[in-house]
Structure 1
């Protein structure tokens, strides 16, 4: 009897794994995958100043080719629970839709991948291929919805230290825009967070000649940094974009010129830039605008969210073919949207993102049509079948 992706997803939803809590979700996956013959590892990683995070790595098979399914079981908070049609951690079906926090992002994707893998193994006598070759694994983190420090990056590093490698990865994030099968993510823009700090000299507002107001300098630099586009885009990506998200002087007194002013910003950048090159460009533009009058400094937050894109070829063609066979749609190959854990995985192997439709993710009444869970499982099954031929 085929594995039931609806039941598996519902069981995951019933685990209140609000980031970074494990909530029982990894325990459920460990039990399910061990029963199918997977070797399962649970790893907790630590980082000063960040919460500990529990992760899971499970593998069946010892040789190549090696296909891994990646994802996260942590979810965002449900918000006001009384606003939900059904309780956010009930995993109940109503009107042909499965409700619950994480139904779309992304316990549904994990549930479908697990169901597809169980079906594939059952057809091969418990092996990735009938001749015993090949490996299937699951790379599941618990902090994707948080700061992503103690999850996928460290789990990938730990797997590499064990001498294991991946050939390809499917990340089950909700990639589709309107209908299942309309979009595959083959790349993502990079993301750079930073602070622009301007230092002046504190003083009384009645005696401005005795002070240097850093707000004036900060405004000048903000205008200069946003006044000229970073680029005009590239073949696969839209133009890079800088956006200031906060300005703060920490001043609660109306008659005091502050000594320092700060602004926080984010840049989503395309493949015409690297992280280091982008930092140099910002500094050069700010220095030109500042002249000798403005004392400024950039502070950049630690980031490994660089640009990545997967080259089209046999692997992407295979995924597109499986989607078309099940849905009748030819998906767009997209690089739009924010960041995901694919940015870490791309350093280890080619990765594509394909999961459910993302319209209700992070919303009250997050839900997924049961038919989409069934269809996504069918797509993953076809990918597995084609991959291990």
Structure 2
């Protein structure tokens, strides 16, 4: 293994040993701050609060000044390990066995953070002086949580300080099975809703004196399933609605209930907007229940916005680095769930590239040591290419 790879693995182990289940930090940010400050990075530890949500610790580390400004973004918070009896290696021990590093966050995404921090440190060391531009690291502890006191507020702080990036790479796991398969240039948005249909309670033996909301709920859901939201776009698959639960709460077998509800999730592409989906569902359900003595309402949760970055120099330079290190030509993908890139897209072009998704959020989450080594090399080569390409440009682009 290369020296650079060894450093990334050691840093990943130190991060995994911090049991930073959302929203706790448990020392994870300090693990990063120590080597960054030694390498002349300015580190700002930012704690944000909001009523009804937990306080969250975040970190902005930066080296250099002015354009071009390259930002690497990620999160040190992790999901709970679940039943520890299901783990063959303790979730926060960071054990290595047969060339594999085990632990919660190994792939999602402490491993990638260790790789891009190591690559940034090596690049800064190689210059022996201030770099021509800026490298920054945006690290939050709130990605697996409500994402309120993390990346959105850090970005606003960065903009107020004149630290708005020109380009950003988020180190989320982007490959299904093999490092180098895909770069994510977008992700679908996510919209959760609850449909409640209200009728008239009554006796099952005299249904004409009641109005069964279950019949209306089933009819409404059938229409939603039968009516495509769209047929996809140039870079996205079709938007999709899935019912996730149906609840009546009726313990009696001889009573028609007064109401019934269903919860659903829509993963939507760049052809849709949350407000447009609100209107569409209202119209479809109104049609489905026409002529029935029923009423309905839909309650929506705040959406997870979609993001999309037009293919351009950012993904092209990253693709070159990936191909050079792995021999693969990555596809430009938009599948998967939401991420903090949905916030970053409002500030600069952003793509995602990290480890594989095979074991994320599972017991025995793990990453191959060879993948950590290769990912560090990819990030390192990309940084070099980025500043060679953009340094000297008037606006850093």
**Aligned counterparts, 1:36-51, within 5 A:** 36-51=39-54
Match of 1:223 in 2: 222
Q: Give the equivalent residue in structure 2 for 1:302.
A: 302
Residue number in structure 1 paired with 2:239: 240
Residue 136 of structure 1 corresponds to 135
Q: Distance in 1 between matches of 2:200 and 2:37?
A: 64
Q: Any unmatched runs of 5+ in structure 2?
A: 389-397
Cα separation, 2, equivalents of 1:361 and 1:302: 25
Does 1:98 pair with 2:97?
no
Question: What SS does structure 2 have at the residue aligned with 1:245?
Answer: strand
State which of 14, 17, 21 in structure 2 corresponds to 1:18: 21
1:61 aligned residue: 64
Cα separation, 2, equivalents of 1:47 and 1:245? 30
**Which stretch shifts more, 252-261 or 266-275?**
252-261
TM-score (norm 1): 0.94
Cα distance in 2 for residues equivalent to 1:42 and 1:204: 62
Instruction: Give the unaligned 5+ runs of structure 1.
Output: none
Partner Cα separation in structure 2 for residue 260 and residue 47 of structure 1: 35
| Residues 192-211 of structure 1: pairs in structure 2 closer than 5 A | 192-211=191-210
Give the superposition deviation at 1:42.
1.9
Q: Which whole-Å CA distance do the structure 1 matches of 2:338 and 2:166 have between them?
A: 22
Local SS of the residue matching 1:376? helix
- Is the CA contact 1:171–1:351 (under 8 Å) kept in the aligned structure 2? yes
The offset of 1:204, in angstroms, is 4.2
Hey, what does 2:327 align to over in structure 1? Answer: 328
Whether the 8 Å CA contact 1:36–1:126 is kept in 2: the answer is no
Aligned residues of 2:155 and 2:164 also touching (Cα < 8 A) = no
Change (3 A) 1:199 1:339: same
Which has the higher mean CA deviation after the structures are superposed, 327-336 or 242-251? Answer: 242-251
Query: What RMSD over aligned residues (CA atoms) do the two structures have, in Å?
Result: 1.7
Q: Which residue of 2 aligns with 1:80?
A: 83
CA deviation vs aligned residue, 1:280-336 (integer Å, no higher than 9, x gap): 111111111121533111111112x23322111222110000111111111111111
Question: Per the alignment, in what secondary structure is the counterpart of residue 388 of structure 1?
Answer: helix
Report what 2:169 is aligned to.
170
2:125 alignment partner, SS class: helix
Aligned partner of 1:270 in structure 2 is 269
1:222 and 1:35, CA in 2 relative to 1: closer, same or farther beyond 3 A?
same
Match status 1:114 vs 2:117: yes
Alignment: residue pair count: 384
1:245-260 matches, cutoff 5 A: 245-260=244-259
TM-score, length basis structure 2 = 0.92
Aligned residue in 2 for 1:155: 154
Residues 166 and 348 in structure 1, CA contact (< 8 A), matched pair in contact too:
yes
Shift of 1:26: 1.2
Deviation at 1:126, TM superposition (A): 4.9
Task: State how far apart, in whole Å, the 1-side matches of 2:127 and 2:115 are.
Answer: 19
Deviation at 1:206, TM superposition (A): 4.7
